[in-house]
Amino acid sequence: MLTERISAHIEHKDLDSLKALLSGLEDVELQFAFNDLTDEEQVITFRLLSKAAALTLFDQLDTEHQENLLSSFTNERTIEFVNTLAPDDRVRLLDELPAGVAQQLIANLSHEERKITNLLLGYEDETAGRIMTTEFISLRRKMTVAQALDRIRQQARDKETIYTLYVTDSMKKLKGVISLKELILAQPTDVIDRIMTKHALRVHTSTDQEEVARTLQEMDLLAIPVVDKEERLVGIVTIDDAMDILEDEATEDIFDRAGITGNETDRSDLLVNGSLWRIWKVRLPILVVTLGFAFIAGFIVDGFEEALESIAAVAIFIPLIMGMSGNVGTQSSTVFARGVVLGQIDMKKFAKPFVKEILVGLSIGLMLGVITGVIAGLWHTPMLGLAVGLALIVAITVASLLGFLVPFLLIKLNLDQAAGSAPIITSIKDIVALLIYFLFVSIFLGVVY
């Protein structure tokens, strides 16, 4: 009866009602119905339970049924079902798995299986939960160094790292860390609790993977423990994974900056070895967007057609104004981006570096503007020289300002990861530079539109 109700909810993908139904059940009721569900129904039901209820149920299952449940996480029909869920449903409905269950599950999966199953674990993409490994050795506080070394000898063969050991209590809560070096230097009779580092640095399953990698790098750690909401140890992230993450993030940044979109894990390979069709899919979108901006730039020039018709020389300096303000703006954006990454610019104290950058822009604008204005004045007419020079000063200053301000706002609005923000910023700077130029041309050459 209850079994059928659960099956029906799953069949209709009505997970909200199912979750409500499950939360009202007694442990015994649930356990009874659970055994009659199909494998994939068991997984879905299990994942919709609260963390506490899931742990109770799991502990009540015998070993065979526990194993069956875990292996059902990767069965084809389960995966199919999960793939039909909207990503926000997954996040909203699925709690973290209990640490013990998550550890067992991850430990038994191949790398490929983990990728698919991690969705079911309730860990978001690009978080510590998605990249951690469970191949670590945990110790107990009351162990002596000799006992700890014995355990390490027994378990070392299957573990990714044995150079950092994690001390947990019976509830799997992380109590401290100790390095193999410290163990080797200690007396065999020393007790772990006395020599371990308490309050060890840790990250949560939901911590962003780039933050995890940067912490490992900055603290010169070989590995960092990952805990769940109850501070239970569920995995570790090692330094070699951190290096790969930083490399991947750098590559992503570089592609985004060049207006190459997409989330392929190996965009670089796709771009060199992929089909034309797939290459267009990552390269064309931003190009089409910037083509739109280019037409806007065209409309601006068109709006000043009279000016161009009476003094064709005005067109001569279009590439110069656009190019030079573009170059200075790119410098400013680079200074800002690296400053934030490397910690010289604090997002909360933005005013000071911002004013400084505008000053830098203004001073550079003055130098290049005067040189260009003089040359343009001698080459054509003094008035054109004046217009070009002043326009360049203002355009370069504004480009510096935008080069800092736009990425700052994008970060504030959480849009900085948006693919192709760089070419779009460039397009905006182009349009602003053209407007400034034609404004000065109109003023000094008397051709007001």
Q: Which residue type occupies 176?
A: G
CB contact at 8 A, 365 and 359: no
Binding flag, residue 322, a second copy (CB under 8 A): yes
Binding status of residue 58 toward a second copy by CB under 8 A: no
Contact 414, 356 (CB under 8 A): no
**25, 71, 18, 62: which is closest to 44 by C-alpha?**
18
- CB neighbour list of residue 95: distance below 8 Å, 6 or more residues apart: 49, 50, 51, 54, 122
Question: Amino acid identity of 299?
Answer: F
328 binds a second copy (CB under 8 A): yes
Is 135 exposed, middle or buried, given 0-12, 13-18 or 19+ CB atoms closer than 10 A?
Answer: middle
**Which one among 181, 198, 229, 412 touches a second copy, defined by CB under 8 A?**
181
| CB of 258 or CB of 411, closer to a second copy | 258
Nearer to a second copy, 52 or 355 (CB): 355
Distance in Å, CB of 342 to a second copy, minimum: 5
Binder among 20, 171, 201, 250 for a second copy (CB under 8 A): 250
Q: Does 146 bind a second copy (CB under 8 A)?
A: no
CB of 371 to a second copy, least distance (A): 7
Pick the closest to residue 120 from 103, 99, 95 (CA basis). 95
Shortest CB 323 distance to a second copy, Å: 5
User: Which position among 243, 370, 415, 448 is part of the footprint of a second copy (CB under 8 A)?
Assistant: 243
Stretch that binds a second copy, among 51-59, 91-99, 100-108, 327-335 (CB under 8 A): 327-335
Stretch that binds a second copy, among 83-91, 133-141, 190-198, 236-244 (CB under 8 A): 236-244
Contacting residue, 371, 378, 409, 448, with a second copy by CB under 8 A = 371
Among 239, 410, 428, 435, binds a second copy (CB under 8 A): 239
* Rounded Cα–Cα distance for residues 319 and 171 (Å): 68
Q: Is 14 in the site for a second copy (CB under 8 A)?
A: no
Q: Is 126 left (phi over 0), alpha (psi -120 to 50) or beta?
A: left
Binding mask 339-358 for a second copy (x = CB under 8 A): x--x-xx-------x--x--
- Of residues 254-273, those binding a second copy (CB under 8 A): 254-255, 257-260, 268-269, 271-273
> Minimal CA–CA distance to 285: which of 253, 255, 249?
255
Interface pick for a second copy out of 368, 393, 405, 441 (rule CB under 8 A): 368
- 444: tokens are 């000094």
Number of helices (H), then strands (E), belonging to the chain: the values are 23, 6
Between residues 23 and 268, which has the closer beta carbon with respect to a second copy? 268
List 60, 66, 147, 331, residue binding a second copy (CB under 8 A): 331
Within 375-404, which residues bind a second copy (CB under 8 A)?
Answer: 375
Please name the helix (run of DSSP H) or strand (run of DSSP E) that holds residue 227, with its range, or none. Answer: strand 223-227
Which one, 55 or 316, has the nearer CB to a second copy? 316
Within 10 Å of residue 175's Cβ, how many Cβ atoms? 20
Which ranges of 311-448 does DSSP label H, i.e. alpha helix?
A: 318-341, 351-379, 382-412, 421-445
408-437 residues near a second copy, rule: CB under 8 A: 423, 426-427, 430, 434
Nearer to a second copy, 11 or 220 (CB): 220
Question: Residues in contact with a second copy, total (CB under 8 A)?
Answer: 95
CA Rg, the chain, in Å?
30
Q: How far is the CB of 123 from a second copy (least distance, A)?
A: 23
With contacts defined by CB under 8 A, name the span among 63-71, 149-157, 189-197, 203-211 that binds a second copy.
149-157
Residues 215-234 that bind a second copy (CB under 8 A): 217, 220, 222
Q: Find the shortest distance in angstroms from Cβ 378 to a second copy.
A: 12
**Extended beta strands in 109-200, E state:** 138-139, 164-168, 174-179
Torsional sign, CA 436, 437, 439, 444: positive
Q: Does 320 bind a second copy (CB under 8 A)?
A: yes
Half-sphere exposure of 155 (CA within 13 A, CB side): 18
φ and ψ of 164, to 5 deg? -125, 130
Distances, alpha carbon 209 to alpha carbons 232, 242, 244, in Å: 19, 8, 11
Question: Site map for a second copy, 275-294, x if CB under 8 A?
Answer: -x--xx--xx-xxx-xx-xx
**Shortest Cβ distance from residue 188 to a second copy (Å)?**
11
Minimum CB–partner distance for residue 283 and a second copy (Å): 6
